[in-house]
């Protein structure tokens, strides 16, 4: 099968137009705040819009049918093209003059990872800060349509578990057309963003900080406008609770939010993944809070002042960090790697959890963990009754063997890539803790890591090759591994 390169280039052009439009919005913000970089961001926007227009003009009249091979290329190259164009505001303004650093920051933004190379975030102009947060929000918006509509067509991704063979979440389908499904979920995404912005403003944030943190929360990204991240508002618990709620919503399946707004609350509460997701966060948050509260070696007064008493403070910060890591948002209220060795290992394990399928969260995803555990437990029954057919069930539906095998393959590949990722970082000079933390954080799109990459530090200490490697891990993890890695196989490019 020959590739339809015209449709690929045409869609890349469309993405550039889309990206350029958001750059103009950043230029508008820059102009409003008169931060001195309006011209440079506008130039980046015009360059991006011109490139997109040229690509679309010379590929007009293309065949609109997209085959599976082209789908893989469009998804991966789409993120790469967006990242390349997204570098321009950093370079043109001089905010991040080094190409490697600018590319790292941009990939981290679009993949909603939230790892940064910036030593002093607060020195950046408002227009650049807004663009930085916007890369998160654009990436999150793309992930919603990717998870709900595109990956099921390619036969991968968690949302296929809602379906049999039809595209999209058929059993719980919002609308038969992909575009209409995406529009409904984007409407919820925008609505949540506006709601969080308003609540954060009412809770005491400036409007600029509120909109930036809302953009970073709903995308489960984690970029902040402050060097200390959410710890900057350590004396304002209400702000932290608002962010906790919206991190939780962003890490849950957006389809369930749609059902909740339609009044189908029982459908939400009966969802197996949602129940495990909520219960897991509650149990782990209580565990973390107990350690923070009872262990004298946790510097409570230094990291989080006891505004409403020590018990509430321990619970809030334990809950905040658990939700931030599980949903892969990566905001921090403190350096949790200083909360005893037990909690360091504890949070490292949570990096492999991931949020729900159909959310903006990264990681392995709760649904995959549930089905892997269920399949493992059923193997005991199959061993005792080898002739019996005992299928895995999820939400009272039978999960096909093909999907179970796909999930197991994903898990094995994920762990293999994590090990390789850590080994490469080790070869580049990182110590053991930093290497495994950096690999887990990048692949899971979490953001903060351990060792020299701890939550109150950044990734600027990495060698250039390490930054490119982490960027690759971010992209592979964000696009569900197979989408990216299949492009590296020789047989993918063979004509069939």
Token duo for residue 377:
């437990």
Q: Which of 152, 118, 222, 156 is nearest to 444 (CA)?
A: 222
- Phi (first) and psi of residue 342, to 5 degrees: -60, -45
76 sits in which H/E element? helix 68-86
Q: Where are the domains of the chain?
A: 5-221
Tracing tokens 């038969």 back to the chain, one arrives at 176
The closest of 377, 246, 214 to 323, measured between CA atoms, is: 246
156 half-sphere exposure, CB direction, 13 A CA radius = 20
- For 352-407, the pLDDT digits (tens) are 998 998 888 999 999 999 999 999 888 888 887 777 778 888 888 888 888 888 89
**365 torsion bin: left (phi>0), alpha (psi -120 to 50), beta (else):** left
CA distance 219 to 145: 13
Find the farthest-apart pair of alpha carbons in the chain and give their distance in angstroms, rounded.
73
Q: What angle do CA 188, 191, 194 make, to 5 degrees?
A: 155
Among residues 459, 444, 378, the alpha carbon closest in space to that of 411 is found at 444
**Rg of the Cα atoms in the chain:** 22
- Supply the DSSP symbol for 393: E
Residue 262, number of CB atoms within 10 A of its CB: 11
Angle between helices 126-145 and 178-203 (to 10 degrees): 140
Q: Which residues contact 394 (CB under 8 A, 6 or more apart)?
A: 161, 272, 367, 370, 371, 374
C-alpha distances (whole Å) from 222 to each of 84, 131, 229, 452 are: 21, 14, 8, 19
Residue ranges for the chain with pLDDT beneath 70: 1, 62-65, 146-179, 296-308, 495-496
The percent of residues in the chain predicted with pLDDT above 70, rounded, is 89
- Cα angle, residue 493 at apex, residues 490 and 496 outer, rounded to 5°: 115
* Residue for token pair 């709601």: 195
Q: Which two tokens stand for residue 336?
A: 């949790």
Is residue 444 within 8 Å of 470, Cβ to Cβ? no
Those residues with Cβ within 8 angstroms of residue 285's Cβ, 6 or more apart along the chain or in another chain: 315, 318, 319, 322, 323
Q: Which residue pairs from 167-176 have beta carbons closer than 8 angstroms and sit at least 24 positions apart in sequence?
A: 169/255, 169/358, 171/395, 171/397, 172/255, 172/259, 172/267, 174/255, 174/258
Q: Which pTM was predicted? A: 0.91
Q: How far apart are CA 32 and CA 39, in angstroms?
A: 13
Q: What is the pLDDT of residue 394?
A: 86
What is the structure's pLDDT at 166? 25
Contact between residue 219 and residue 358 where contact means Cβ atoms under 8 Å apart: no
The pLDDT value recorded for residue 159 is 47
Residue 341's φ and ψ, nearest 5 degrees, are -60, -35
Between CA 198 and CA 269 the distance in angstroms is 27
- Reduce the DSSP state of residue 253 to 3 states and report it: coil
- Phi/psi at 307 (nearest 5 deg)? -65, -45
Measured CA to CA in angstroms, residue 129 lies from 137, 192, 461 at distances of: 13, 21, 22
Concatenating the DSSP letter of every residue in 307-350 gives: TT-HHHHHHHHHHHHHHHHHTT----SS-GGGSHHHHHHHHHHH
């Amino acid at each position: 099968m020959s590739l339809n390169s015209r449709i690929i280039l045409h869609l890349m052009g469309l993405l550039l137009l889309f990206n350029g439009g958001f750059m103009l919005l950043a230029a508008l913000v820059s102009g409003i705040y008169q931060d001195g970089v309006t011209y440079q961001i506008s130039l980046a926007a015009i360059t991006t819009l011109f490139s997109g227009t040229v690509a679309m003009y010379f590929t007009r009249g293309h065949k609109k049918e997209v085959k599976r091979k082209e789908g893989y290329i469009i998804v991966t190259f789409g993120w790469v093209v967006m990242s390349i164009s997204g570098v321009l505001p950093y370079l043109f303004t001089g905010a991040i003059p080094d190409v490697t650093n600018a590319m790292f920051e941009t990939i981290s933004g679009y993949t909603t990872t939230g790892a940064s190379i910036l030593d002093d975030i607060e020195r950046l102009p408002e227009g650049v800060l807004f663009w930085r947060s916007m890369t998160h929000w654009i990436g999150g918006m793309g992930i919603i349509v990717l998870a709900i509509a595109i990956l099921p067509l390619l036969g991968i991704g968690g949302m296929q578990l809602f379906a049999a063979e039809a595209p999209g979440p058929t059993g719980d389908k919002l609308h038969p057309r992909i575009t209409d499904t995406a529009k409904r979920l984007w409407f919820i995404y925008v609505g949540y963003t506006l709601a969080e912005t308003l609540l954060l403003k009412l809770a005491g944030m400036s409007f600029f900080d509120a909109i930036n943190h809302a953009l970073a929360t709903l995308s489960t990204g984690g970029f902040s406008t402050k060097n200390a991240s959410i710890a900057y508002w350590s004396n304002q618990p209400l702000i932290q609770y608002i962010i906790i709620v919206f991190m939780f919503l962003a890490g849950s399946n957006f389809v369930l939010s749609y059902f909740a707004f339609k009044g189908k609350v029982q459908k939400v509460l009966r969802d197996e993944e949602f129940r495990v997701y909520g219960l897991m966060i509650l149990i782990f948050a209580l565990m973390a809070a107990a350690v923070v509260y009872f262990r004298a070696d946790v510097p409570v007064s230094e990291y989080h002042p006891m505004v409403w008493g020590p018990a509430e403070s321990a619970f809030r910060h334990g809950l905040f960090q658990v939700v931030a890591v599980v949903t892969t948002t990566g905001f921090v209220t403190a350096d949790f790697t200083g909360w005893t060795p037990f909690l360091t290992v504890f949070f490292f394990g949570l990096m492999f959890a991931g949020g729900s399928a159909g959310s903006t969260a990264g990681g392995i995803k709760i649904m995959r963990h549930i089905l892997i555990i269920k399949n493992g437990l059923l193997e005991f029954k199959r061993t005792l009754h080898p002739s019996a057919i005992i299928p895995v069930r999820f939400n009272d539906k039978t999960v096909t063997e093909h999907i179970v095998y796909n999930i197991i393959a994903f898990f094995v590949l994920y762990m293999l890539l994590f090990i390789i990722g850590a080994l490469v970082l080790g070869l580049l000079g990182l110590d053991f803790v930093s290497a495994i933390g950096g690999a887990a954080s990048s692949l899971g799109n979490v953001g903060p890591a351990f060792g020299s990459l701890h939550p109150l530090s950044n990734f600027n200490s990495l060698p250039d090759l390490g930054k490119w490697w982490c960027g690759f891990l971010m992209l592979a993890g964000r696009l569900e591994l197979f989408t990216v890695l299949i492009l590296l196989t020789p047989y993918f490019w063979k004509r069939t």
